[in-house]
Amino acid sequence: MKRGIRVREQTSRRKFLSSAAMAGAAMIAAPNVVKAQGPVNMRWQSTWPSKDIFHEFALDFAKKVNDMTGGDLKIEVLPAGAVVPAFGLLDAVSQGTLDGGHGVLVYHYGKQTALALWGSGPGFAMDANMLLAWHKYGGGKELLAKLYESIGANVVSFPYGPMPTQPLGWFKKPVAKAEDIQGLKFRTVGISIDVFTALGAAVNALPAGEIVAALDRGLLDAAEFNNASSDRVLGFPDVSKICMLQGYHQNAEQFEILFNKTKYDGLPDQMKAIIANAVEAASQDMAWKAIDRYSKDYAEMQTVDKVKFYKTPEAILKRQLEVYDEVVKKKAGENPLFKEILESQIAFAERATRWEQDTVVGRRLVFDHYFGKDGVAKEL
C-alpha cells in the first residue's frame, strides 16, 4: 500500500517538474519568438523640411523609441514631401501609406475645425504645458479620440512638446494697430485663418517649406511660422528684417505624434508602454532643447542678421481676443464637438490659470534686477 502511494507521488512529482520545466522554457522562449520575427519597422514622415529644428524634434522622438525598445521597434522619419505633402499627413497615416508621423493638430483643420483647439488660439490664459495638462488629466485625451473617430481617421494621437508663444509674424514694417493688418496677404493656419481674415487680411495657409519663397516673390506680404530657430533656418531674415513678437493666435500649441491605429494596435503591450513613456520623455527634452536653441538664434538674428524685433502692441492683442471669441462662438454653434471641447478647456483653464496667477511669481522684476539697464548680474 505504502509502495503504491510512493509510486503515485513520484509520478505526480515527475509530471509537476516536467510541466514546470515546459512553462519555464515557454517563458524564456516567448521574448525570443519576437526576436526571431525581427524588429518592427515603421516608416514615418514629418510635416517639416529636413533643415528645420522641428524635423530634428521628430528624429529625437524616434531615437528615444528605437533606443528604449533595444531596436525591437525601428522608426525611420522622412522629411515633409518625401511621401506626401505636409498637409496630407493625416490621410497618409490613416490609410496606412505611412505608419506614423510628426506634425501639429492644427494642420488637420480642414478635416475637423475642433482639432485646432489643441493650440490655435489664446488657450484661455493657459500656456502649452497647461494645455497638455488638460489633455492628459482634464478630458482632452478622450475628446481627441472622439474627434478622430468622428471623421473616420484610423489613427492614435499623442500630443506632446509644449511650444512657447509664437510671434505675430514677419512684416515689411512694424504694425502699430489692428488696422495695419487690413489688406495684407498673410500666412497662418488653423483658427488663426479665421482670426486674421476677420482682421482684414487675405490669408493663405502654406506649409513651412513654402513660406519664405512666397514672401520673396511677393505672393505674401507678411507671415507667421513659429520660433527663432525655425524662422532663421527657413530664411525669414533673408526676406524681412521686421518681426513682431508675441500674439494670441498660437499661444499654447504643441506637436502631435501620429500612429496608424491598425499598426499601433498590433504592437505588444510592453512596446506601447515604452512609446507612451517616450512621448513624455521627448516632450520635456524638446522643451529644454527649445530654450537653448531658440534663445541662441534669437540673439544671433539681432547681432548677425540685423533683424529688429518689436513687441506686438496691446491694442492688437486685445483685438485678437475679441475676434477669437466671435470665431469660436460661431464654430461652437455649428459643431457640437467643438462646443464640448471648448467647454472642457474653459472649465480646466479657469481653475488652473487662477492657481497659476495667484501662486507663480512674475519674473520680469527679477530679470530687470539682474539684466536690465542697471542690472547687477555683472557684479556677482
Residues belonging to the binding site for Na(+) are 225
Q: How far is CA 50 from the centre of its chain?
A: 17
Cell (9 digits) for 64: 528615444
Q: Which residues are annotated as a binding site?
A: 166, 187, 224-225, 250
Q: Which residues are annotated as a binding site for substrate?
A: 166, 187, 224, 250
Cell (9 digits) for 40: 518592427
The rounded distance, in Å, linking the Cα atoms of 377 and 200 is 45
